[in-house]
Structure formats: structure tokens, C-alpha cells
Amino acid sequence: MKATRISFLLLAAAAMSFSATKASDVLAITVKDQVHHHLDPRLFGQFMERPAFSGEIGPEAAVVPGTHQLQPQAEKLIREMQIPALRFPGGTDVDFLDWTDMVDNVPGRETKGRPTSAPRGKKVTNAFGYDEFLQMCGRNRSEAILALNFRDGLLGVKPLEEAAAHAAALVSYCNGSTKSLPPSLAKWAQLRVQNGHPEPYHVKYFQIGNETWMFNPEVKKKVSFTGNPLKLDLPARSIVFAEYSISKQKQE
């Protein structure tokens, strides 16, 4: 936006804000076309949430029927937003997800296709999954941020070791090489190849849980435990953890 247009907008806002002032008052605003600070564009990222158990329909409302792909017009609109970073697949609901429901050909599953999930009572389709999301990010040059299920390990829905290994399996699916990983994780990289994407997606950011409440004294230890196996396929500073805490004063 040009400096002249900024000046006009600011002056218009100022005129409305100060319309009640005396006529003798003078308000002067100077806007210069000069960069003072650079902001990381990732600050202006967005959140793409799959169908949520609370009722949101998510991106799958725009999927071409019978496929896993978004309607061309829907993706065109997303591309025009020029989103620098895009988080997926859910907020609170991510802690009730099994990521393998959102990819094809999972070993040991009865069907090659994706099941319908209903972990909180309401059925949710998995038509738009990790492959479709990550390929879209690649086409649109958006940095992907993938949130991981932390509730299973934190609250003992699964043994912590099993929950951490399941999260690491997603990282291996996205970023792993079939040659450099132990067999327990290499099979997930091989599944990505089988599903049509031989090269790793090179996802840089994985978030453990979603705004986890710090009510449990075991949280920090379990976050560290969960994060350790993720490092096999991740560079430094790429594991994100967002906590939500309440001060003693507010609790009282």
C-alpha cells in the first residue's frame, strides 16, 4: 500500500475519532513510506481445521465428491490468501484423533481406504487428510504446522511410550527416509511412498498437543518424553508446545 493511501486512511480515521474536539484543535499525522521493523511473515499464519466434533464442517465441505481433493475454486481462494504458515488438522479435537485414519493403505486396517471417525460421538469423514494438505501447502508455498495428539499420553489413554511412538510414526510418514530409520518407523516412510509421494514432505514444525492446560505436574516430563522420538526426523527448534496456565491470583 502506498504512503499516500495510508495517510488518507489514517486521516479519515482521525477525523472520525476527533470530530467532537474543538475546531481550534489541530491534529497532525505524518506517515512516512519507510520500513522501521521487519516482521516474520509466519505471524500472519492461518489454521485449517478438519471437520470438528463440535460441528464445524471444515475443508471437507469443499472436497470434490468421491475424491480427496479440494474443489479447484476453493484451493484458488486459499492460494490467493498467500498464507505463510498453515496449521492442521485440529485444535482441541486433535487430542482425540488417530492420525492414521487420515491416510490410505494403513497396515493392519480392514480397508485400504479411510474410515469414518467418531471418537467423541459425532461421525467425521477423513476425506481431506495429511497427503492432500501437505501437497496443497507445497503448491501454495505455505509452511505446514502439524498438531499432534498429546492427550493419549498425558492422560493415560495409551501408555506414554506407545503414544509417543504413534506421534513419531506421523513424523516418519511426513519426513522419513526408508533407508535411515529403524524398521518400526521406516515402514511409515514406506507407506508414504506407497501412497504416491516418494520424497519426504520436509515438514518443519510439529506441535505437541493444543494449548495444554498445565494442571498436571507430569506435563513437562511427558512433553519431553513425547518430543524425544520426534527428533529422529526433525531439525532443532521445530517442536512446538503451547501451554495454557492460570495464575494463582486468577484461580483464587
Give the model's pLDDT for residue 188.
94
Give the model's pLDDT for residue 227.
65
pLDDT band with cut points at 50, 70 and 90 for residue 247: very low
Question: 216 and 112 share a domain?
Answer: yes
144-166 pLDDT per residue, tens: 999 999 888 888 899 988 988 89
| DSSP E strand stretches across 39-198 | 46-47, 85-88, 143-148
Write the CA distances from 10 to 14, 32, 38, 89, 171, integer angstroms: 6, 12, 21, 38, 47
CATH of the domain at 64: 3.20.20.80
pLDDT > 60? residue 112:
yes
Question: 21 and 111 share a domain?
Answer: no
Taking residues 243-250, what's their average pLDDT?
44
194-222 pLDDT per residue, tens: 999 999 999 988 988 887 766 667 776 77
Tell me the HSE value of 108 on the side-chain side, using a 13 A CA sphere: 4
pLDDT > 70? residue 5:
no
Question: 160 and 50 share a domain?
Answer: yes
Give the model's pLDDT for residue 250.
38
The total number of structural domains in the chain stands at 2
Q: What are phi and psi of 202, to 5 degrees?
A: 55, 50
**What pTM, to 2 d.p., does this model score?**
0.77
Question: 31 and 45 share a domain?
Answer: no
Question: 122 and 26 share a domain?
Answer: no
Question: 106 and 29 share a domain?
Answer: no
Concatenating the DSSP letter of every residue in 134-172 gives HHHHHHHTPEEEEEE--HHHHTTSS-HHHHHHHHHHHHH
Question: 13 and 90 share a domain?
Answer: no
Which of 92-106, 130-144, 200-214, 219-233 tops mean pLDDT? 130-144
Domain span at residue 4 reads 1-36
Q: How far apart are CA 71 and CA 63, in angstroms?
A: 6
Question: 22 and 71 share a domain?
Answer: no
pLDDT > 70? residue 229:
no
Question: 32 and 42 share a domain?
Answer: no
Question: 28 and 54 share a domain?
Answer: no
Question: 14 and 118 share a domain?
Answer: no
Question: 152 and 63 share a domain?
Answer: yes
pLDDT > 70? residue 3:
no
pLDDT > 50? residue 249:
no
pLDDT band with cut points at 50, 70 and 90 for residue 170: very high
Give the residue, 160 or 88, on which the prediction is more confident.
88
